[in-house]
Amino acid sequence: RRDRDADLDREIADHLDLEREVQEQGGLSPEEARRATRRVFGNPVSVREEVREAWGWQWLERLWLDARLAVRLWARTPGFSAIAIATIGLGIGASTALVAQVTAVFWTPLPVFAPKELRFVSWTSPRPSFVMGPNVMAGPRVDGADSYGTVSYAAFLAMRDQTSSFADVACWSDLGEARPVILGELGFGTVQFVSGNYFRALGIRAALGRTLELHDEPPGGWSPVAVISHRFWQRALGGAADVTGRALRLNGRPFAVIGVLPESFFGLDAAVSPEIFIPNGATEMAAATAKPLQNHGLWNACRVVVRMRPERSDEEGRLDLERALAAVIATAPPATPYDTPSVRLTPAEYGSATLREGTSTPLLVLIVVVSGLLLAACANIAGLLLARGSARARELATRLALGASRGRVIRQLITESLVLSLAGGLVGMLLA
């Protein structure tokens, strides 16, 4: 920029010299030629400003100068500036923290591969007599109606093995008896029982070691292996690099740790955030019911998640699942009449709605409170700036008298407010 300014000054000087020579050749004295040159050429300062405007960055230079002036003005009144910045920081900090929580709960997709392809499976039935007692857990509300969110293990196997609309069908156990589990000398922990293809269906790879696979859950059996969360690895095992191969005692039974999950993965339900994942076949070690997976009437054994094939629609998948459920119920029908389940597929992109449903009202209350706090902070700052503006009336009048336009004064005041807001925003980020 300095080089271009120097070039511009030399070019203006050359024009003035040429014009003066022309005037002198016309018979004028040097002094008269100099005055005539000024009249013909115009004000060099104005010419210089017009050329700079044509270069296109004059607005940036003016903004920089306004910002420097604003910083100097705020530095002259440190007490006022500190109060204003602290007030803005408090309002922005609280708002930012709350927005971060709302975003994480409501608008952040699951940290899995292609979360938009995932669907949760739920069902409804006017006469679910194929369910033994009240052994079924609530599912999401679909089209204003309640649904059930769990199935029997036999029903899961039928949906996994007898359907063609899905790239994968996986399950995890959410039995109330399955949490907590005694972890030997480590105390208690949250354990989740998952199918061997659970991590494959979600597209989750281990950060260390490997995840569970289908061969860890062979037909009629299961392998005593476990995958742990990153948080549990750090909290209970000190982030040991040789964690794979170690044994954890769960309810008195040894399980070999085979892998550590990525730090971002918390399961499909953020309200649970399990610490240890073991094969679904091990459910019997924590359940109150004998042989829970073999019991066709125990419809709280599995929650099911499916990954859609790109070429198949949700309606095709729903009908596919209904046929599989009708077939598995027919293999061991109840003694009383029943209605075949009607399946619902709901998007699983944001995980289970348990946490959203449980926190929606408190978060709404917090949003109202924090919004009021932010508005109060803005009103207080507005009052302070108005009082400060009244004290600066003489300064602003002097600026106008010296030739500054009203737009120029307004731009300077806005720049001062922006500098104050930026400082308050930085403080708010630290508070958040």
Which tens digits make up the pLDDT trace of 354-384?
Answer: 777 778 888 889 889 998 988 998 898 888 8
pLDDT of residue 137: 84
Residue (of 211, 210, 230) closest to 273 by Cα position: 230
pLDDT of residue 176: 47
Are 155 and 330 contacting, i.e. CB atoms less than 8 angstroms apart? no
User: Which position has the token pair 């207080």?
Assistant: 380
pLDDT of residue 117: 96
* CA triple 119-218-296, angle to 5 deg: 65
Which of 98-120 are b and which e, b meaning 16 or more Cβ less than 10 Å from the residue's Cβ?
beeebeebeeeebebeebebbbb
Residue (of 225, 201, 217) closest to 281 by Cα position: 217
Q: State the Cα–Cα distance between residues 257 and 206, nearest whole angstrom.
A: 12
pLDDT of residue 177: 43
Crossing angle of helices 354-391/78-102, nearest 10°? 160
Residue (of 280, 260, 307) closest to 216 by Cα position: 280
Give the per-residue SS3 of 139-189.
Answer: CCCECCECCECCECHHHHHHHHHCCCCEEEEEEEECCHHHCCEECHHHCEE
pLDDT of residue 263: 94
pLDDT of residue 212: 96
Q: State the Cα–Cα distance between residues 160 and 347, nearest whole angstrom.
A: 18
Name the amino acid, one letter, at 181.
V
Backbone angles phi, psi at 292, to 5 degrees: -65, -30
Burial zone of 404 (CB within 10 Å; 0-12 exposed, 13-18 middle, 19+ buried): middle
Residue (of 226, 196, 228) closest to 213 by Cα position: 196
Q: Show Cβ contacts of residue 17 under 8 Å, excluding neighbours closer than 6 positions.
A: none
Q: State the Cα–Cα distance between residues 291 and 33, nearest whole angstrom.
A: 112
Q: Show Cβ contacts of residue 421 under 8 Å, excluding neighbours closer than 6 positions.
A: 88
pLDDT of residue 64: 84
pLDDT of residue 178: 44
Q: State the Cα–Cα distance between residues 167 and 160, nearest whole angstrom.
A: 10
How many other CB atoms sit within 10 Å of the CB of residue 429? 13
All residue ranges of the chain with pLDDT < 70 are 1, 56-57, 174-187, 288
